[in-house]
């Protein structure tokens, strides 16, 4: 029997009734049921057996107080009526709208019978407008879409009587690719968008528009390889689509696959020879690969198609700059500024290029133009400092560096340049301070270490210079100049071992200054390493036999009593300076120590021929004559020595002695 739900519920029957009342009610029910079956619903009863089933069910519900049976519902969907039983499945898409119009059960007048669309609406959805899009949304959010077997987790239309379920009609929610696309567009979460788009593609794998959306979403999410894979799938379906080729090229650019960019853009240009953007991307790929010549060719080809493209013109200018075609680069930068006067980055590039070319006036002009719109740009002030420095305007150079540091106090490069400017201005304390700040920001800055150490070295603050040089040499252990300065500083501080060690390294790493060898020889001598000291002097003498070196070497030989070697060195000195008396006197002294009095006398006399005023030589000659027993000659030499130097006690003492010896010789 069919009734309309929504009526007031009838009171609960008492379970115990008298037999008489039950019989009367039974008779009435049978009569009413038969009447209804015969006249009320002939189109809904499929023959006599079904009619008797309904009568039996009604009897069971009313008399035996059992659950009512459900037979069917009538729904109007999109203007058309549908009759559904519990054996049917109700299909719904996001475009559908429907209303439950009738519910057929054993309950007379439908009291207590409700219909509930699971998961949406209220507790009773009878005669209420239901939209399919709400079910679709629910299905997407919960991951359900119903099934023909009404598996657990699907949607259903629940029929209840006084809160107890009596039937359920499965609802199959139809989710289309358009649904997933709609959800993807409405979501702000890229991961969710990707999942929705993948589901849409799974339902229609040849939908290139959805694939393109997915590829673009992958790209924006940073999933470049996945984006590339999608674009490649699209190209299988649309091999020469210029838009897809261009977007794939951008993916390759982002992932650094520049050879693939060139390959794909070549395909795009072949498909569309007027594709200036593809040529520009090709040029960018060539530039990233360092082939600036091909980059220039591609940019030029792009600009032939679209000559007013400021981005391509700017990139062409950069390419010219990279290939040292600076005049052409300037020309292109100017063209961009004519088209886009407020392009500060172009003005900055032109300013930097002018600085690079040594056009300091132009550099100053363009940097000031940038400062008009970017008054707090520290880099511009720094470049202005460099420009003024190039013109020799040290005061302006320092002023601009100071402004740059006020805006960015932690820039070690600008601080270094400021320190160097202070050096040029002879402001050593300020230079020292700035170099120290550079090292606070960048402790291992090699150049700052060396420059600060050099300032201390120049001021003879060797204790401050040494630790800086020691730090610097750790980074550059083969720099001979640092070892040379360390050797000198340690020598001044009377640390010959450290001095010798650094001089050795300086020589090992290519130092050519003979003074280093001399200083090393001296350090060896101070360490008591006489043999090493002499060996070093010998090397020096062999390489560069100067008077100074030969004298030092000869003195070393004399101290070591190596008289023959000393004599050879003195002979070299005589050969170098045959007109100097000192060489002859020195070799004479060596011969005397060796015991060769004749050669000693000979060389003293040769010395006196060049310098007859040397009292010491006369005195030494007198001693040589005395040893040889030539007392008369000795007296004469001593007398001359005394006359030249009356303070000579030796000569004064030996004169009377020689007179006595002469008398003794005569008496004999």
**Mean pLDDT along residues 265-273:** 91
120, pLDDT greater than 80: no
Q: CB within 8 A of 107, min separation 6: which ones?
A: 3, 61, 68, 113, 161
The pLDDT confidence band at residue 143, using thresholds 50, 70 and 90, is low
Instruction: Kindly state the tokens that stand for 169.
Output: 């009609």
User: What residue has token string 């201005």?
Assistant: 425
> By three-state DSSP, how is residue 620 classified?
helix
Cβ proximity of 380 and 374 under 8 Å: yes
637, pLDDT greater than 90: yes
Q: 121 or 34: whose pLDDT is higher?
A: 121
The pLDDT confidence band at residue 153, using thresholds 50, 70 and 90, is very low
653: exposed, middle or buried (Cβ count in 10 Å: 0-12, 13-18, 19+)? exposed
Query: What's residue 148's pLDDT?
Result: 39
Query: What's residue 19's pLDDT?
Result: 47
Angle 502-506-510 from CA coordinates, rounded to 5°: 170
Partners of 100 in the beta sheet? 75, 126
154, pLDDT greater than 60: yes
Instruction: Kindly state the tokens that stand for 571.
Output: 């002979």
Ranking 160-164, 177-181, 399-403 by mean pLDDT, the lowest is 177-181
Q: CB within 8 A of 444, min separation 6: which ones?
A: 471, 475
The pLDDT confidence band at residue 477, using thresholds 50, 70 and 90, is very high
131, pLDDT greater than 90: no
**Mean pLDDT along residues 377-386:** 95
**CA–CA gap between residue 274 and residue 81 (Å, rounded):** 59
Work out the angle between the directed axes of helices 208-220 and 242-255 (0-180°, nearest 10): 20
Instruction: Kindly state the tokens that stand for 190.
Output: 């890229």
The pLDDT confidence band at residue 260, using thresholds 50, 70 and 90, is very high
The pLDDT confidence band at residue 15, using thresholds 50, 70 and 90, is very low
Cβ proximity of 86 and 168 under 8 Å: yes
Query: What's residue 368's pLDDT?
Result: 94
Query: What's residue 592's pLDDT?
Result: 93
111 conformational bin, left if phi > 0, alpha if psi -120 to 50, beta if neither? beta
By C-alpha distance, which of 617, 620, 619, 598 is closest to 608?
617
47, pLDDT greater than 60: no
206, pLDDT greater than 60: yes
Query: What's residue 42's pLDDT?
Result: 44
CA dihedral of 21, 24, 30, 31, whole degrees rounded to 10: -140
Q: Count CA atoms within 13 Å of residue 582 on its CB side.
A: 9
Report in angstroms the alpha-carbon separations of 460 from 422, 467, 506, 639, 660.
Answer: 19, 14, 20, 51, 61
> By three-state DSSP, how is residue 72 classified?
strand
> By three-state DSSP, how is residue 113 classified?
strand
Query: What's residue 183's pLDDT?
Result: 67
Cβ proximity of 366 and 347 under 8 Å: yes
Torsion 607-612-617-620 (CA) sign: positive
**Mean pLDDT along residues 377-404:** 96
Ranking 84-88, 119-123, 297-301, 567-571 by mean pLDDT, the lowest is 119-123
Query: What's residue 33's pLDDT?
Result: 52
Residue-by-residue DSSP string for 294-344: HHHHHHHHHHHH-TT-HHHHHHHHHHHHHTT-HHHHHHHHHHHHHH-TT-H
**CA–CA gap between residue 142 and residue 277 (Å, rounded):** 44
User: Of all helices (H) and strands (E), which one includes residue 171?
Assistant: strand 164-173
Q: CB within 8 A of 258, min separation 6: which ones?
A: 252, 285, 286, 288, 289
Residue-by-residue DSSP string for 153-168: TSEEEEEEETTEEEEE
Cβ proximity of 653 and 641 under 8 Å: no
Q: In CATH, what class is 615-668?
A: mainly alpha
Q: What letter does residue 10 receive in the DSSP assignment?
A: P
**Mean pLDDT along residues 521-549:** 88
**Mean pLDDT along residues 624-644:** 93
pTM for this one? 0.59
The pLDDT confidence band at residue 4, using thresholds 50, 70 and 90, is very low
Backbone angles phi, psi at 2, to 5 degrees: -110, 135
Ranking 62-76, 487-501, 607-621 by mean pLDDT, the lowest is 62-76
Give the residue extent of every domain in the chain: 2-175, 615-668
Query: What's residue 389's pLDDT?
Result: 95
Query: What's residue 478's pLDDT?
Result: 94
247, pLDDT greater than 60: yes
281, pLDDT greater than 70: yes
Determine what percent of the chain is predicted with pLDDT higher than 70. Answer: 89
Q: Tens of pLDDT along 316-358?
A: 999 999 999 999 999 999 999 999 998 889 999 999 999 999 9
**CA–CA gap between residue 644 and residue 649 (Å, rounded):** 12
The pLDDT confidence band at residue 27, using thresholds 50, 70 and 90, is very low
Query: What's residue 286's pLDDT?
Result: 96
Listed ranges 20-34, 139-153, 213-227, 417-431; the one with the highest mean pLDDT: 417-431
CB atoms within 10 A of CB 195: 15
Mean pLDDT across the chain, nearest whole number? 86
Ranking 31-45, 373-387, 604-618 by mean pLDDT, the lowest is 31-45
**CA–CA gap between residue 32 and residue 50 (Å, rounded):** 16
User: What residue has token string 């649309």?
Assistant: 238
Q: 390 or 6: whose pLDDT is higher?
A: 390
The pLDDT confidence band at residue 298, using thresholds 50, 70 and 90, is very high
3, pLDDT greater than 80: no
**CA–CA gap between residue 498 and residue 398 (Å, rounded):** 39
**Mean pLDDT along residues 620-635:** 93
Cβ proximity of 217 and 194 under 8 Å: yes
**Mean pLDDT along residues 445-470:** 95
Instruction: Kindly state the tokens that stand for 219.
Output: 């790209």
**Mean pLDDT along residues 455-462:** 96
**CA–CA gap between residue 167 and residue 579 (Å, rounded):** 137
The pLDDT confidence band at residue 21, using thresholds 50, 70 and 90, is low
Work out the angle between the directed axes of helices 378-390 and 394-407 (0-180°, nearest 10): 170
The pLDDT confidence band at residue 54, using thresholds 50, 70 and 90, is confident
Query: What's residue 10's pLDDT?
Result: 37
């Amino acid at each position: 029997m069919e009734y309309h739900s929504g009526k007031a519920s009838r009171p609960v029957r008492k379970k115990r009734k008298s037999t008489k009342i039950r019989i009367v009610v039974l008779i009435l029910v049978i009569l009413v049921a038969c009447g209804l079956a015969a006249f009320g619903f002939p189109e809904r009863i499929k023959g006599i057996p079904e009619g008797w089933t309904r009568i039996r069910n009604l009897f069971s519900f009313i008399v035996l107080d059992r659950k009512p049976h459900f037979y069917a519902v009538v729904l109007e969907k999109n203007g058309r009526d549908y009759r559904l039983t519990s054996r049917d499945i109700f299909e719904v898409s996001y475009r559908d709208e429907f209303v439950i119009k009738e519910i057929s059960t054993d309950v007379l007048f439908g009291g207590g019978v409700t219909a509930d669309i699971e998961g949406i609406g209220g507790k009773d959805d009878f005669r209420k407008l239901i939209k399919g899009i709400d079910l679709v949304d629910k299905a997407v959010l919960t991951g359900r879409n119903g099934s023909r077997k009404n598996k657990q987790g699907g949607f259903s239309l629940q029929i209840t009587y006084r809160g107890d379920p009596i039937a359920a009609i499965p609802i199959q929610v139809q989710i289309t690719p358009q649904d997933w696309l709609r959800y993807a567009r409405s979501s702000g979460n890229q991961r969710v968008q990707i999942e929705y788009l993948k589901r849409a593609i799974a339902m229609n794998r040849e939908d290139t528009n959805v694939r393109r959306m997915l590829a673009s979403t992958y790209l924006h999410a940073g999933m470049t390889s996945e984006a590339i894979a999608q674009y490649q799938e699209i190209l299988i379906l649309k091999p020469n689509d210029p838009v897809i080729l261009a977007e794939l090229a951008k993916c390759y650019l982002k992932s650094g696959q520049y050879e693939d960019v060139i390959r794909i853009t070549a395909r795009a240009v072949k498909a569309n020879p007027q594709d200036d953007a593809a040529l520009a991307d090709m040029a960018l790929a060539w530039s990233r690969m360092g082939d600036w010549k091909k980059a220039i060719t591609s940019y030029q080809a792009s600009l032939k198609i679209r000559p007013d493209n400021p981005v391509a013109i700017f990139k062409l200018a950069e390419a010219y700059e990279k290939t040292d075609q600076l005049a052409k680069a300037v020309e292109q930068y100017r063209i961009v500024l004519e088209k886009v006067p407020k392009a500060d980055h172009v003005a900055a590039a032109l300013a930097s290029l002018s600085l690079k070319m040594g056009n300091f006036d132009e550099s100053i002009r363009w940097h000031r133009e940038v400062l008009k719109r970017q008054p707090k740009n520290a880099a511009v002030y720094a470049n202005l400092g460099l420009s003024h420095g190039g013109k020799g305007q040290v005061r302006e150079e320092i002023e601009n560096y100071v402004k740059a540091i006020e805006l960015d106090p932690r820039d070690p490069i600008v601080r270094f340049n400021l320190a160097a400017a202070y050096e040029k201005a002879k402001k050593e304390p300020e230079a020292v301070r700035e170099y120290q700040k550079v090292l606070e920001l960048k402790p291992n800055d090699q150049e700052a270490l060396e420059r600060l150490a050099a300032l201390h070295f120049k001021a003879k603050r060797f204790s401050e210079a040494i630790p800086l040089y020691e730090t610097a040499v750790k980074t550059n252990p083969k720099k001979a100049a640092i070892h040379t300065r360390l050797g000198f500083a340690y020598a001044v501080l009377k640390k010959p071992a450290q001095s010798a060690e650094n001089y050795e390294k300086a020589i090992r790493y290519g130092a050519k200054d003979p003074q280093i060898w001399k200083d090393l020889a001296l350090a060896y001598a101070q360490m008591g390493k006489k043999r090493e000291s002499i060996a070093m002097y010998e090397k020096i003498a062999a390489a560069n036999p100067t008077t100074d070196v030969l004298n030092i070497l000869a003195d070393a030989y004399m101290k070591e009593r190596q008289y023959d070697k000393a004599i050879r060195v003195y002979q070299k000195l005589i050969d170098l300076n045959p007109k100097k008396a000192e060489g002859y006197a020195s070799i004479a002294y060596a011969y005397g120590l060796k015991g060769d009095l004749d050669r000693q006398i000979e060389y003293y006399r040769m010395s006196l021929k060049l310098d007859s005023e040397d009292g010491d030589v006369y005195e030494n000659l007198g001693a040589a004559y005395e040893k040889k027993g030539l007392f008369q000659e000795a007296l004469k030499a001593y007398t001359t020595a005394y006359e030249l130097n009356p303070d000579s006690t030796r000569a004064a003492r030996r004169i009377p002695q020689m007179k006595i010896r002469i008398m003794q010789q005569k008496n004999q």
